[in-house]
Structure 1
Amino acid sequence: MTFVTYIEHSGAEHKVDVPNGDSVMQGAVNNMIEGIVAECGGGLACATCHCYVDDAWIDRVGPPSGPESEMLEFAANAPGRGSRLSCQINVTDALDGLVVRLPESQF
């Protein structure tokens, strides 16, 4: 298990244990974190799981793939530094302590 901290736009923090192999999106959905809608269920077909990877973790998480970058253009909140679709970040031991910030809305 790996701890991921989700920070809502309001500042509320949720530190949850996410099983390795699950996505950051699955961790949010399974723990009822508000701010991740995940309409497509992780199929890279929407942008309702948009998040901002904390600056300290950007290099470790890596950049979005080409298809993910294209989908980020549809995010309700402008993509910015650290923008990722949380369905595309797979949790591993190397991401223990990951911090992601959630946008004001996904629509």
Structure 2
Amino acid sequence: MDAPAGERLLDVAQAAGEPLEGTCEGQMACSTCHVIVAAEDFARLPPASEEEEDLLDLAAHATRTSRLACQIWLTDALDGLTVRLPTDAHDMQGR
């Protein structure tokens, strides 16, 4: 999907109907917007904060390239970024 720079990945994915729950509405208080970034793209992202790392420790099926979609702000440098949902992802809000 295409998205303009400056948008947050969580918002773009939800607008496109992807099952990213984002229970805390992007306030980084949960891990329900956990995504797995393609290994070849992971280094293009700014490092995760300690708070984000702590939440990822609680995420099911987290990998070394896991991130929270609420913490990924799209930029021109991230053009072509590839992410996938963990295998157990399901949206409890029914979207």
TM-score (normalizing by structure 1)? 0.77
2:28 is the alignment partner of 1:73: no
2:70 is the alignment partner of 1:100: no
Q: Could you tell me which amino acid in structure 2 is paired with residue 93 of structure 1?
A: D
Aligned mates of 2:70, 2:24 — CA distance in 1: 10
2:23 is the alignment partner of 1:39: yes
> Would you say the 8 A contact 1:60–1:95 is kept in 2?
yes
Aligned mates of 1:102, 1:48 — CA distance in 2: 10
Aligned mates of 1:29, 1:19 — CA distance in 2: 15
Structural mapping, 1:1-107, within 5 Å? 16-34=1-19, 36-77=20-61, 79-106=62-89
* Unaligned segments of structure 2, at least 5 residues: 91-95
Q: Give the deviation of 1:18 after TM superposition.
A: 1.6
Aligned mates of 2:64, 2:59 — CA distance in 1: 14
> Would you say the 8 A contact 1:47–1:106 is kept in 2?
no
The percent identity for this pair of structures is 41
Q: Is the partner of 1:51 in helix, strand or coil?
A: strand
* Unaligned segments of structure 1, at least 5 residues: 1-15
Aligned mates of 2:79, 2:44 — CA distance in 1: 11
Aligned mates of 2:67, 2:42 — CA distance in 1: 10
Q: Over aligned residues, Cα RMSD in angstroms? A: 1.3
> Would you say the 8 A contact 1:22–1:91 is kept in 2?
yes
